[in-house]
Amino acid sequence: MTEENETKQNPRGSGYSTRQKASLIRFLESHPEEFLTAKEIHEGLVASGEKIGYTTVYRLVNALSEEGKLKKFLTKKGGPIVFEFAPGHDEAEFHVQCKVCRKLFHLHCGEIERTAEELKHHLDAEHGILIDFQNSVFQGICPACRRKAEQNHQD
């Protein structure tokens, strides 16, 4: 068995630990809070000298997503899926996706976090619904697209 294909049982969780998986995780760790497609991850790994196929990257990012180490977002119907590295990240995290350019942004806002906590308690107490804000995505228009629209409107 070659080093490239050698696998061993991962003692820290399910699945197998491979050199390629370790390289992929190191790559993702070096891109915190970034939303990357499997293609962008593959291109980054290859550019850094890693010998890894696109199919292997695709399989690994989906496995890591199932293990909870990556968050997975569909940016638009029929569009690319993006992944965000989030190991052991189980608190609410909010995102905004621009309806114009489809870019996904992190939304760090104490007011939204407080409001979400109140909404979570209300939905549970009044409606029996347990809501999970883990991967919440609000739709809106980003500042750059708003400026473009305002400039076009003024012209």
Domain boundary among 61, 87, 113: 87
Mean of the per-residue pLDDT values for the chain?
82
State pTM to two decimals.
0.63
> Same structural domain for residues 77 and 106?
no
Indicate the Cα dihedral angle 123, 86, 56, 45, nearest 10°: 140
Is residue 98 part of an annotated ligand binding site?
A: yes
Question: Strands 94-98 and 36-37: what pairing?
Answer: unpaired
Asked if residue 133 lies in contact with residue 120, where contact means CB atoms within 8 angstroms, the answer is: yes
Q: What is the pLDDT of residue 5?
A: 41
Is residue 113 part of an annotated ligand binding site?
A: yes
Domain carrying residue 39: 1-87
> Same structural domain for residues 79 and 112?
no
Of 2 and 29, the one with more pLDDT: 29
> How sure is the predictor about 42, in pLDDT bands with cuts at 50, 70 and 90?
very high
Tens of pLDDT along 67-109?
888 888 877 777 788 898 876 655 667 888 888 988 888 787 8
Q: What is the CATH number of the domain that holds 96?
A: 3.30.1490.190
Asked if residue 104 lies in contact with residue 73, where contact means CB atoms within 8 angstroms, the answer is: yes
Is residue 101 part of an annotated ligand binding site?
A: yes
Q: CA angle 135-142-40, nearest 5°?
A: 60
Indicate the Cα dihedral angle 97, 78, 80, 34, nearest 10°: 20
The pLDDT of 1-27, averaged and rounded, is 61
> Same structural domain for residues 53 and 82?
yes
Q: What is the pLDDT of residue 79?
A: 76
> Same structural domain for residues 71 and 109?
no
> Same structural domain for residues 33 and 69?
yes
Is residue 109 part of an annotated ligand binding site?
A: no
Asked if residue 50 lies in contact with residue 21, where contact means CB atoms within 8 angstroms, the answer is: no
> Same structural domain for residues 27 and 79?
yes
Q: What is the pLDDT of residue 2?
A: 40
> Same structural domain for residues 13 and 83?
yes
> Same structural domain for residues 41 and 107?
no
> Same structural domain for residues 50 and 106?
no
Domain count, the chain: 2
